[in-house]
């Protein structure tokens, strides 16, 4: 588990994005990501990846608003997205 340093000492609240525009951490499990690609959960906890098709499903997490070329590297990168509900 990752521990965040609170802005206010002893603050135990969690920050969560729920809908609208935001960002999502992704890896290259599904390949390079282009604007408009759908994002789903990857095999790594808390990391997304490119969905294999363009049909919004009950497990689709977000739609990419930025592209990323992984250049054959196993990167994890934060990209812009629109969260799906």
Q: Coil, strand or helix: which one is 41?
A: strand
pTM (predicted TM-score)? 0.77
CA distances (Å), 71 to each of 17, 24, 31, 67, in order? 29, 19, 10, 12
Buried b (16+ CB within 10 A) or exposed e, 41-55: ebeeeeebbbbeeee
Question: What pLDDT is stored for residue 1 in this prediction?
Answer: 43
Q: Coil, strand or helix: which one is 2?
A: coil
Residue 25 exposure: Cα atoms within 13 Å on the Cβ side: 8
Q: Tokens for 82?
A: 């629109």
Q: pLDDT tens for residues 7-30?
A: 677 776 666 666 688 999 999 999
């Amino acid at each position: 588990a990752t521990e965040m340093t609170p802005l206010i000492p002893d603050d135990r609240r969690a920050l969560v994005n729920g809908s609208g525009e935001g960002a999502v951490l992704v890896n290259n499990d599904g390949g390079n990501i282009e604007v408009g690609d759908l994002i789903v959960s990857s095999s790594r906890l808390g990391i997304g990846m490119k969905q294999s098709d363009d049909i919004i499903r009950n497990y689709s997490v977000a739609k990419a608003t930025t592209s990323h070329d992984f250049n054959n590297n196993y990167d994890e990168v934060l990209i812009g997205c629109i969260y799906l509900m």
